[in-house]
Amino acid sequence: MSDHNQQILLARRPEDVPTEDIFEFRDIPINELEEEQVLVKTLYLSVDPYMRGRMNAGKSYVEPYAVNEPISGAIIGEIVESRSKELKVGDKVQGFLYWQLYNGVNASAVRKLENTSVPLSAYLSVLGMTGLTAYFGLLDIGQPKEGETVVVSAAAGAVGSIVGQIAKIKGARVVGIAGTDEKIAYLENDLGFDKGINYKTTTDLQKALEEACPDGVDIYFDNVGGTISDAVLSLLNDFARIPLCGAISSYNSKGNEDLGPRMQPKLLKTRSLIKGFIVSDYRERFDEGHQELADWLSQGKLKYEETITDGFENVPQAFLNLFTGKNLGKQLVKVSDPSNRDR
């Protein structure tokens, strides 16, 4: 094991679309472990759109990142030193840790991964926060019924791709909105979506949606906000449900510039529901969601895609890719190989 450690700091808050210079790499030592601590070598780390919100100073649903402090997020790692009886060297674990090559933490801060029949990275995608986000948002708020029409924005993303597939499992008609022809082909040919719409090349999104949703829209799983959502909202059926999961089109806009048609008249006419949520609202039901997702996965009913960038030095670029639509499925960074080659 090397004793070289490195971390990525938030050097300054982004003003608009984030750029590489908001990040800074810093070399740090690896401290001696205290009792009950373990040293976790980062194997994979997750970059996620919600992190953009935490880079602002204002209150969001999680605390903002501090300037000049390391960024944290979901990480899969391997125990390389242990002063805890709970975890031994070679164990694979998951936790919310700093963006560092190594994290020395209390054993209780990480969770051991027991199921070794799926690739490690799946714990950051389909079986991780994004899979659970899709599961609870669609099933608890959306409540799809057989024959209903479900529209998903950012449909080829880590959450959207799972939303669409669960909706198909539940017997719905599924229309996905995404931003490249490659993604549309992936939705229609690989994931079984009934229709994909490329919002970047479609001149009249409204009309394309009308054609793709001849019976209107019963559920809109909203990952983006902005003008795409304006168009979908105009097609709502009575008693439609909108799980509000992301507003990536607003994350980078400054305050009150984000104007659009007011939603109230349409929501009132159709008696529809919008509900914002984050996955941790469902913390107490994670086991249920995890189990059903794992079942669907093992039955071949769920496919997932990962865009895995190689190398800790490329974490900033992997994060920036989230805002340029370059990733298909869950964007991850592979930081190190497992040392335990038997695994």
Residues that bind a second copy (CB under 8 A): 53, 59-61, 222, 225-226, 229, 238, 244-247, 250-251, 256, 258-265, 267-278, 281
Q: How far apart are CA 258 and CA 245, in angstroms?
A: 18
Q: Which is nearer to a second copy, 224 or 297 (CB)?
A: 224
Residue 268 Cβ vs a second copy, minimum distance, rounded to whole Å: 4
Q: Which is nearer to a second copy, 54 or 168 (CB)?
A: 54
Residue 257 Cβ vs a second copy, minimum distance, rounded to whole Å: 9
Integer CA distances (angstroms), 35 to 82, 85, 91, 102, 142, in order: 9, 10, 18, 17, 46
Q: How far apart are CA 29 and CA 88, in angstroms?
A: 22
Tokens linked to 291: 């189990």
- Class of residue 200 by CB neighbours under 10 A (exposed 0-12, middle 13-18, buried 19+): exposed
Q: How far apart are CA 191 and CA 119, in angstroms?
A: 20
Residue 337 Cβ vs a second copy, minimum distance, rounded to whole Å: 37
Q: Which is nearer to a second copy, 56 or 314 (CB)?
A: 56
Tokens linked to 208: 């394309």
- Class of residue 300 by CB neighbours under 10 A (exposed 0-12, middle 13-18, buried 19+): exposed
197: β partners: 177
The beta strands (E) that lie in 277-337 are given as 306-310, 330-334
* Closest CA relative to residue 186, chosen from 210, 167, 211, 160: 160
Residue 316 Cβ vs a second copy, minimum distance, rounded to whole Å: 24
Q: Which is nearer to a second copy, 215 or 238 (CB)?
A: 238
190 secondary structure, DSSP code: I
Q: Which is nearer to a second copy, 278 or 320 (CB)?
A: 278
Is the separation of the CB atoms in 329 and 302 below 8 Å? no
Residue 259 Cβ vs a second copy, minimum distance, rounded to whole Å: 5
Is the separation of the CB atoms in 76 and 91 below 8 Å? no
Task: Say how many C-beta atoms besides its own lie within 10 A of residue 162's C-beta.
Answer: 29
Residue 109 Cβ vs a second copy, minimum distance, rounded to whole Å: 25
Residue 309 Cβ vs a second copy, minimum distance, rounded to whole Å: 27
Q: How far apart are CA 166 and CA 168, in angstroms?
A: 5
Q: Which is nearer to a second copy, 49 or 316 (CB)?
A: 49
Residue 233 Cβ vs a second copy, minimum distance, rounded to whole Å: 10
Q: Which is nearer to a second copy, 109 or 244 (CB)?
A: 244
Q: Which is nearer to a second copy, 275 or 301 (CB)?
A: 275
